[in-house]
Amino acid sequence: MPIIKYDFLPDIFFDSKVKKLKTIYRPYVLVKLGNKSKWSKNFIKSLVDSGADYNVFPSSFADEIGINCAKGELQKITGVGGLSIDTYMHFVKIKVGNKEFETVVQFGENIQTPLLGREGFFNYFDYAKFNVKRRFLEIKY
């Protein structure tokens, strides 16, 4: 079975406690989203998030693949800090490496970072291994 390896990518942010720019390395993968025969034009840098229950993407990606976001089933999701956000659930295709599968994605206007969660992403693979010390992610399918 194939194994895909991704190096963690750096994100730079301002740490207000120490008033400095800092770098944190995160497990991003490049995916494409599809709806019927229409696919996203570019790969989408998506955070593999073991703390996320579901796949969540900005609504602009639904528009790009011809989905009317508001026609999906309304779902309220709660993130860190208890903030509740309206999202709309749709079935789409996801392509990562040579693997393609149909799954559920929740699209929302106020979503900034595409997230790949346990239900809808992790469950399509034999395993996902995070090596934080060496800064890489392995996904086996």
If one counts the domains in the chain, the total is 1
Query: What's the CATH number where 92 sits?
Result: 2.40.70.10
65: containing domain: 28-124
The pTM assigned to this predicted structure is 0.91
Confidence (pLDDT) at 83: 84
The Cα 56–Cα 35 span in angstroms is 16
Q: Considering the domain boundaries, does residue 118 fall inside one?
A: yes
Helices marked H in 2-141 — which ranges?
59-64
Q: If you average pLDDT over residues 110-123, what whole number do you get? A: 95
pLDDT, one tens digit per residue, over 13-64 is: 999 999 999 999 999 999 999 999 899 999 999 999 999 999 999 999 999 9
Distances in whole angstroms, Cα of residue 136 to Cα of each of 79, 124, 141: 25, 19, 17
Q: What is the per-residue pLDDT across 53-69, written as a single tens digit (0 to 9) for each?
A: 999 999 999 999 999 99
